[in-house]
Amino acid sequence: MVKKYIVDLSEDEVAQLQSIIKKGKHKARTITRANILLMAAEDETDSAIADTVRAHTATVQRIREKFVIGGLDFALKDEAHPPKPTKLDEKQEAFLIATACSNPPEGRVRWTMQLLADHLISVGIIDSISDETIRQTLKKTKLNRG
């Protein structure tokens, strides 16, 4: 099979990739991608590269393609991930904070994360929510009760 994207590295790029590998101060993904590019420049087959770096051949092909299309930095860096939508809006968050600051239910000394989550569900503020989401929300607002 003929390779569509041929990796041709300059001396500066080879030095930069070898520096990334030797220092070991980068993400494991970046080091793996650097190894892939160096081996691809030495005309290794995709399957041999994949076996050596313990990756899939599709990963090797994608890294070669990214290098040819966008250059060295584009091939080494991760794409930005879109932000996850928040579970609670401002009104729901305000209700959570007000509830956490209020007196706990009868027979309890304080609100727990699970009690707060169950209370939000029973009141009908939200359909489902985990105690971890409650904890993160209160931590973000510096009201963590735990």
17 in any annotated domain: yes
Same domain as 71, residue 124: no
Rounded to an integer, what distance in angstroms lies between the CA atom of residue 96 and that of residue 91? 9
81 in any annotated domain: no
User: Domain of 118?
Assistant: 90-139
85 in any annotated domain: no
4 in any annotated domain: no
Contact 41, 9 (CB under 8 A): yes
Q: For residue 87, give the 3-state DSSP assignment.
A: coil
Rounded to an integer, what distance in angstroms lies between the CA atom of residue 6 and that of residue 41? 8
72, two tokens: 């060295």
Q: What is the pLDDT of residue 98?
A: 93
Same domain as 100, residue 62: no
Same domain as 94, residue 53: no
Rounded to an integer, what distance in angstroms lies between the CA atom of residue 121 and that of residue 133? 13
Same domain as 58, residue 108: no
Same domain as 66, residue 41: yes
Q: Calculate the average pLDDT of the chain.
A: 91
pLDDT at 143 over 80: no
Rounded to an integer, what distance in angstroms lies between the CA atom of residue 37 and that of residue 129? 44
pLDDT in tens, 74-121: 999 988 889 988 899 999 999 999 999 999 999 999 999 999 999 999
pTM of the complete model = 0.61
Same domain as 97, residue 64: no
